Amino acid sequence: MAPRPDNIPLRRRNTTDAGSPAPEEASRPQQRTLQDEHDRIRRFKIVSVLIGLLAILMLIALVSYTQRDEANAQLTMRDMIGVIRGDDALRVRFETTYNWLGLLGAVVAHWMYTSTVGIWSIAIPVLMLFWAWDLFRFQRITPLLTRRSIATFSVIVTLSAFLGTMQLVELTNWLPRESCGAIGQFLAGVTTQFIGRVGSAIVWIVALGFVSVFGFEIDLSSLGLKTKGLLGKIEWRRSNRNNSSLDSARDDGYDENDGYDLEDEDENEVETEPTIVPPIRRRIQRPVLDVDDVDEEPATILPRPKPETLRTESSIPAEGKQLSSSVKILRPTKNDAPREVPPEPSPADEEPPSVDLTDLQKRLQELHPKKDISLFEESDGSLDSARDDASLDSARDDASLDPPFGRTGSALDDTPLDSARDDVSSIVKRPLVVTVQDTLFPVEPEMQLSNATLYDEEIAYKPPTIGLLVDVKDEAAVDDKELEANARTLQEKLETFRVRIENLTVTPGPVVTQYEFVPASGIKVSQIESLADDIALALKAQGVRIIAPIPGKGTVGIEIPNQHPSIVRFSSIIKSPKYHNPDIKLPLAMGKTVIGEVFCADLTKMPHLLIAGATGKGKSVGINTIIASLLYRMHPRDLKFVIIDPKRVEMNLYAALRDHFLAISPDIDETIVTSPQNAVTVLKALVEEMQQRFSILAAAGQRNISDYNQKVRDGKIKDKGGIRHRPMPFIVVIIDELADLMMTASKEVEEPICRLAQLARAVGIHCIVATQRPSVDVVTGLIKANFPARIAYQCSSRIDSRTILDGTGAEHLIGNGDMLFAPGNTPIPIRMQNAFISTEETEALCEWIGGQKGYSTPYMLPSVNKRGGGMGGGSSDRDALFEDAARIFIQLQQASTSTLQRRLKVGYARAARIVDELEMAGIVGPPDGSRGRPVLLQSESELEAYL
């Protein structure tokens, strides 16, 4: 039988079940923590007020010091007790004291002026005021004030010692004792005994300048510029003051109603002597706008046109407890359809600007009256004619830009020079041909690109289609109730710690939602940053990240993961107009930001990328996304990959791209490099490729690969001297696991990677290095310094996050592609969700490209073994101890540099060079980590036969 309502026991609000603490009891530790914090702050403020009061009293005593109080200030402790007892003699002293703080102020001021650093001790109470202010505001003394205080003490001690030295010089012995104090006299006496008065003065002057510059971080160059600017202003004001009389004389001829009296001005011009005008540079005058044609209506400021709306706003009322500030939810609009990007017009398709040759010749003749200029002479192929053609091309460009030099309607019809005009038009329309000149560096035939014939080969390549990828489904939007509940919980938690916020805005993303607000006045940003763990605990969320403040805004952002995240498909990124931006040369489809916007980056602007993250957090998927985004935009003639995969299983499917997108080394038999020895060989081959490209660019007089390729395609760079100029493709080097290579051959791997990262950007070689162990022995200082762009997936500790990003944050990520991207030019990394491409999609993409007919041979990198054999194969180039070293290694069957140092008694540099020569000759093998080099010959008879 169900109990009646009257029989149901009622529980009071303060009663709970047995074993469960009451809410008041649970909140007591938190209240005690808050109370202790408030008590600590109150104690600091009381101490700061006392320090400030003491500093003010000391400052008053020092300012009101006078030498007439010297006799009254020499009191002992017994005399001070006598003042308290009412001694008449001491009372007379008190009445005859001139210090504003009486006898005690005179005693303190006299002691500080005579027993410390003299009059410079007045800086001590000033510093105490700054200390009190820091303690009152921050409850601590800031590091900046600490450095400034130490620098101030050093300066006043050095200055007092210098003035103490000056007191010992006869010319300046009139300086009083208060100018340096007892400390200054002591330091001056010590230095004077050792190096004399002059040496002591020089030492203290140099010390004073040194302490001032380095203590206060004075920039001498900027100080010199400011001084020069100040002197220039003084000179300018002096010249204006001298010309004031001339200006007043000119003002006498000005009438307020009618302006200047032109008749008087004409008479003055007749009477006065002609003024000599300084020569100026000739400039082509632009058409001057007639002032009478200007409309006299006032200018109106047109409103800025609103851009295409990327977000839709909806205001959500709060349920339950009313939020103190309105919450706005900004959602990105669905705009996945790619916009049609119009193709860029090629230079060959553009019509050359029409030029009125008659007006052009007249204009050039006016600019150069001393030269006989004719635009209708045939070119005879000489150097002078080539220069004339170049001048005509430049003149044609100027004519296309200047309206006065354009076509004048019937000007060409009136001229009878039709045949000559046709000849000249052929001259003017002729493209500028850059002839490859002989450079200071001889370009050997072997330094030319070995793939020059490959560029002449054409293939019928069809780019991959969107149908190979999984179609994008409508992403499930985050429930408004969830956003509203999180916003209410966030605000309540912040108010618990007395942090009031305003203008709360919620922007949901695919995986993370950003809560953006403005702190109330008086709230410190550091106070909000310290509440990350408390907010994560209140919201029961993992990976809460606080951005305080958001760069470019006066707001604070809190990123909170969604309870039901959605997948960001790779197909949704490549459909975006941002991916098809023609200004991006090597597009990387990174993913979507926390506010749901598509993010694409350009690898050429990075120019190298370092990726790190724990195992299983999305690093391999991110590399596949990068490769796929390049394959969808680039043609095989414009891009090549060098893939190094020590794990042997992650990148094997890209071997199908061998004849299309891969670059291989002829010295190894692997398409996808897996062994550390082959990885070292490939990296050395890339360095050799970089050197060859630099030689070709230097011979062509170009600065980077983009300009070189463009001019080669336009026909502006011709083959000369046996050099075949062809467009060079970009090369992207991908290393999937750097830690394994660094463990086996750290020095051999680090050196070529650093050289490529430092120099290879201009020649189109870019590196993407990934590792799952971002420790300092793997990501060394040299590698880290040359990789400004970095991606961090979820890391296992704060130390790994600091190693990869130079800051914390990666340890709070939630995995599954959640990453922080630091492009190198922003102070705070950008959080985004990496685009996901499955293994099936990657296999379909590789099968689509691999099933097409590729080039007859893959792109071959230079052979380092052939170059090494040429350097060390000849007996004339070998070291004198070459044979002795080879015999020692064959006898020991172990090769190392230290062994040669001990046996042959040579230095390290020579021993290392001999070992390199033995490796090039094929007697010893490459280094194998800590186990040394293997010896390839087994007996001395084999060595004799080889020699």
Rounded Cα distance between 944 and 947, Å, is 5
15 in a structural domain: no
Query: Which pLDDT value is given to residue 832?
Result: 92
Q: DSSP letter string over 419-468?
A: HHHHHHHHHHTSPPPBPPPPPSS---GGGS-TTHHHHT---------GGG
- The CATH number assigned to the domain holding 624 equals 3.40.50.300
pLDDT at position 379 over 50: no
Do 644 and 765 reside in the same domain of the chain?
Answer: yes
Q: How far is CA 664 from CA 279, 670, 750, in A?
A: 63, 8, 20
CA quadruple 606, 609, 613, 615: dihedral, nearest 10: 140
Mean pLDDT to the nearest integer, 129-143: 88
Backbone angle region of 615, left / alpha / beta, with phi > 0 → left and psi within -120 to 50 → alpha: beta
pLDDT at 722 over 70: no
Name the pLDDT band for 80 (thresholds 50, 70, 90). Answer: low
Domain count, the chain: 5
- Pair 763, 744 in one domain: yes
- Please, what's the b/e burial string for 300-317 (b: 16 or more CB within 10 A of its CB; e: otherwise)? eeeeeeeeeeeeeeeebe
Of 479 and 150, the one with more pLDDT: 150
Which of 827, 860, 893 delimits the end of a domain?
860
> Which percentage of the chain shows pLDDT scores above 90?
26
In terms of domains, do 713 and 640 share one?
yes
Confidence of residue 217 (pLDDT cuts 50, 70, 90): confident
Lowest mean pLDDT among 585-599, 603-617, 806-820, 862-876: 862-876
Evaluate if residue 617 carries a pLDDT over 80. Answer: yes
Q: What is the pLDDT of residue 625?
A: 96
Half-sphere exposure in the Cβ direction for 40 (13 Å, CA): 9
Q: Which of 136, 759, 691 is nearest to 444 (CA)?
A: 691
CA angle 376, 377, 380 (to 5 degrees): 150
pLDDT at 52: 93
Report the interhelical angle of 181-215 vs 102-115 (nearest 10°).
70
Terminal alpha carbon distance of the chain: 110
Q: Which domain holds residue 211?
A: 26-220
Per-residue pLDDT tens for 173-182? 778 878 888 9
- Span 781-795, pLDDT tens digits: 888 888 999 999 999
Q: Is the pLDDT of residue 86 over 80?
A: no
Q: Are 579 and 590 in contact (CB under 8 A)?
A: no
Is residue 11, in this structure, part of any structural domain at all? no
Residue 255 DSSP symbol: E
Residues 550 and 596 in one domain: no
Residues 807 and 873 in one domain: no
Find all residues with CB under 8 Å of 330, minimum gap 6, and list them.
311, 312, 313, 505, 506, 507, 595
The answer to whether residues 788 and 669 belong to one domain is yes
Sign of the CA dihedral running 198, 204, 208, 214: positive
Helix or strand (DSSP H, E) at 731: strand 730-735
Query: Would residue 4 be called left, alpha or beta, if left means φ above 0 and alpha means ψ between -120 and 50 degrees?
Result: beta
Residue 380 is assigned to a structural domain of this protein: yes
3-class secondary structure per residue, 151-166: HHHHHHHHHHHHHHHH
Q: What are 405-450's pLDDT values in tens digits?
A: 333 333 333 333 343 334 434 433 344 333 333 333 334 444 455 5
pLDDT for 244 equals: 57
Model confidence at 549, pLDDT cuts 50, 70, 90, reads: confident
Residue 641: both structure tokens together? 């990959």
Is residue 850 domain-shared with residue 890, that is, in the same domain?
Answer: no
What's 162-178 look like in SS3? HHHHHHCCHHHCCCCHH
CA atoms within 13 A on the CB side of 664: 19
Classify residue 281: in a domain, yes or no: no
8 Å CB contact between 738 and 778: yes
Residue 293, in any domain of the structure: no
What's the DSSP call for residue 251? H
Are 610 and 721 in the same domain? yes
Residue 699 lies in a domain: yes
Place of tokens 């091309």: 393
What's the length of the chain?
947
pLDDT at 78: 67
The b-or-e profile of 536-546 (16+ CB within 10 A means b, else e) is bebbebebbbb
Q: Does residue 233 form part of some domain?
A: no
pLDDT reported for residue 393: 45
**Residues 185 and 330 both lie in one domain:** no
545: left (phi over 0), alpha (psi -120 to 50) or beta: beta
Q: Which of 31-35, 96-100, 738-742 has the lowest mean pLDDT?
A: 31-35
- Its sign, for the CA torsion 101, 102, 104, 109, is positive
Note the pLDDT of residue 394: 41
Q: Which of 241-255, 552-566, 621-635, 881-895 has the highest mean predicted lDDT (pLDDT)?
A: 621-635
Q: Give yes or no: residues 666 and 752 share one domain.
A: yes
pTM for the complete prediction?
A: 0.51
> What 3-state DSSP class applies to 665?
coil
- Per-residue pLDDT of 832-883, as tens digits, reads 999 999 999 999 999 999 999 988 888 999 988 754 443 344 455 688 888 8
The CATH number given to whatever domain includes residue 921 is: 1.10.10.10
Nearest to 937 by CA among 869, 894, 890: 890
Residue 460 falls inside a structural domain = no
The domain that contains 548 carries what CATH number? 3.30.980.40
**What is d(CA 14, CA 249) in angstroms, rounded to the nearest whole number?**
95
| Alpha-carbon dihedral sign for residues 358, 359, 361, 366 | positive
Give 42's Cβ-side CA count (13 Å radius): 6
Residue 321 pLDDT greater than 50, yes or no:
no
Torsion angle in degrees (nearest 10) through CA of 935, 941, 946, 947? 110
Q: Please say whether the beta carbons of 806 and 787 come within 8 A.
A: no
Same domain, 606 and 683: yes
CB half-sphere exposure, 578, CA atoms < 13 A: 15
What pLDDT was estimated at residue 32?
Answer: 64
Of 839, 860, 881, the residue that ends a domain is 860
**Looking at residue 782, what is its pLDDT?**
85
Q: Are residues 538 and 634 in the same domain?
A: no
The pLDDT of residue 243 is 59
Residue in 649, 670, 661, 615 with CA at minimum distance from that of residue 845: 661
- Whether residue 512 contacts residue 594, with contact meaning beta carbons closer than 8 Å, is answered with yes
Domain boundary among 807, 841, 860: 860
- Taking the CB of residue 72, how many other CB atoms lie within 10 A of it? 21
